[in-house]
Amino acid sequence: MRSPLNDKARLEHIRNAILTIEEYINDKGFEDIVSDKILRHALTWNVQVIGEASNKLSKEFISAHPDTNWRGVIGMRHVLVHDYYQIDEEGLWNVIDVDIPLLKAQIEQYLSEKD
């Protein structure tokens, strides 16, 4: 049986998914998400990874870092997985364009605290 991952490993998973999202949208915009089904699915999957890794962070870590909207991050994952039929391109783009940059800065800060 694998040993459970610690908070630092989960934060690294979140950062890696964010970096992948940034790579995928490097020179792209909202119209590309609408027109490129593969891109949309790749972005959706990485947002799911972010939510799942966030959901696995310890309660102590989440409580110690209330500036991050953990409930929203985890909630987005639940929407993408369980209410997939409600996903629209505008909502996905908003997460990527507005939420991900803020989350990236916070995750980078948390990782620097863990070093």
- What residues are labeled active site? 77, 82
What is the rounded distance in angstroms from the CA atom of residue 92 to the CA atom of residue 61? 27
Tokens of 113: 């605290």
Dihedral sign for Cα 14, 19, 24, 25, please. Answer: positive
Count of all residues that appear for the chain in the document: 115
What DSSP string runs through 38-61? HHHHHHHHHHHHHHHHHHTS-HHH
